[in-house]
Amino acid sequence: MKMLRTALTVLAATVFIHGAACAAEDTSVSNGDIAKRGLKVSDFPRWKQLAPNIYSYEGVHAPDPEGRVINTVSLIVIGSDGVLVADGQGDPAQGQAMVDNIKKLTAQPVKYMIVASDHIDHVGGNAAFKKAWPNIVFVSTPISQRNLAKNDNPPTEIIADKRSFKVGDIDVQVMNLGRAHTGGDLAVYLPQSKILFMSEIYLRGVFPAMRSAYPSEWVETIKKAQAMDVSLYIPGHGFIDDAATLKRDLEESRKAIVAVIAEGKRLHDAGIPCVVAPPQPGQKPALCEAAQKANWGPYADWGLASSQVQLAVVKVYQELEGKLP
């Protein structure tokens, strides 16, 4: 058994190193765009062992109409009696790739899938998990359960506040720290290793994406995470570098949201409208007047900014006008 565990550890390291070695990666760049790290889609999926039997897993996501690609991060916790996964990947092929790679690590079944983000880039491949492990249980907040009610694999168990799981001898605490990027956000804390998987509460080097966000509450949710006893913060998008850098960039992510809210308030107070006009056939959608006049400072170059700035203005305006759902 000891030899088998050793072999699996070596295999996991080999899988990750193979992916990382495919490009001369510039780890000084925190922008979520994989091209700005010197990486290609073919360099994914990638693994990284964070602690014994605990892994981050990176697939890719291409939500930007200009073709930029960012990574999507999942968490895998392997116990002697089963596996817990936090967040899947975005489509059936990515989901199947993740299933196949988990099976290389362990013969244990995935017992729980924590839906920390209910957005499609984190749940679109969940059918592959259900097919591979029919008894898997999908767990989410009540809000995400409602949002995914028509999904092929809706969550069947909910966490309103906090729930503890035991994965072999690994303690896992799943927490609702507050509304943030999706409104149904969850975080996964591993107290023995002091790892906090934040899913889309933490978008590292990605412009604050606010399609379904609660801007001011998002800032407070990050503050709650920062007050915890955490050694390693793991983002839902963005790269897994050293602990100090990840902690620093979590604060930068919080500052980015604060800056977006402040700029939105400035535009709103100036009476500059954000009327979203339907795009003309064959033309790129035009930004509303407020988004065109916005000054995003150092965050203008963050990943996906071009596709997210107008959504951010709209959401901040909704919050200021008391129109958030």
What tens digit of pLDDT does each residue of 67-114 get? 889 999 999 999 999 999 999 999 999 999 999 999 999 999 999 999
232, 258, 284 - which closes a domain: 258
Whether residue 325 is contained in a domain is answered as no
Q: How far apart are CA 188 and CA 176, in angstroms?
A: 9
Q: How far apart are CA 141 and CA 175, in angstroms?
A: 9
Whether residue 52 is contained in a domain is answered as yes
pTM: 0.91
Q: Note whether 197 and 51 are same-domain residues.
A: yes
CATH code of the domain in which 106 resides: 3.60.15.10
239-296, pLDDT tens digit by residue?
A: 999 999 999 999 999 999 999 999 999 999 999 999 988 877 777 778 999 999 999 9
Q: Note whether 108 and 118 are same-domain residues.
A: yes
What is the mean pLDDT of the segment spanning 115-125?
97
Residues in the chain: 325
* Per-residue confidence (pLDDT) for residue 28, from 0 to 100: 55
Q: Note whether 199 and 305 are same-domain residues.
A: no
Whether residue 137 is contained in a domain is answered as yes
Residue with tokens 């070695």: 21
* Per-residue confidence (pLDDT) for residue 284, from 0 to 100: 75
Q: Note whether 167 and 121 are same-domain residues.
A: yes
* Per-residue confidence (pLDDT) for residue 233, from 0 to 100: 98
258, 286, 307 - which closes a domain: 258
The residues that bridge with 137 in the sheet, in sequence order, are 112
**SS3 for 104-132, per residue?**
HHCCCCEEEEECCCCCHHHHCCHHHHHHH
Cβ count near 54 (within 10 Å)? 23
* Per-residue confidence (pLDDT) for residue 11, from 0 to 100: 39
The residues that bridge with 61 in the sheet, in sequence order, are 70
160-193, pLDDT tens digit by residue?
A: 999 999 999 999 999 999 999 999 999 999 999 9
Q: Note whether 145 and 85 are same-domain residues.
A: yes
Q: Note whether 214 and 269 are same-domain residues.
A: no
Q: In whole angstroms, how far apart are CA 17 and each of 13, 41, 105, 179? A: 6, 16, 15, 35
What is the full DSSP assignment across 258-287? HHHHHHHHHHHHTT-----PPPPTTSPPPP
Tally of domains in the chain = 2
∠ CA(102), CA(104), CA(110), 5° rounding?
30
Q: Note whether 298 and 184 are same-domain residues.
A: no
Q: Note whether 269 and 185 are same-domain residues.
A: no
* Per-residue confidence (pLDDT) for residue 29, from 0 to 100: 53
Structural domain of residue 267, as residue ranges? 260-320
Q: Note whether 123 and 232 are same-domain residues.
A: yes
**Residue 19: pLDDT band by 50, 70, 90 thresholds?**
very low
* Per-residue confidence (pLDDT) for residue 164, from 0 to 100: 98
Cβ count near 162 (within 10 Å)? 13
Cβ(116)–Cβ(236) under 8 Å? yes
Q: Note whether 120 and 90 are same-domain residues.
A: yes
240, 258, 276 - which closes a domain: 258
Q: Note whether 249 and 268 are same-domain residues.
A: no
Whether residue 69 is contained in a domain is answered as yes
Q: Note whether 186 and 298 are same-domain residues.
A: no
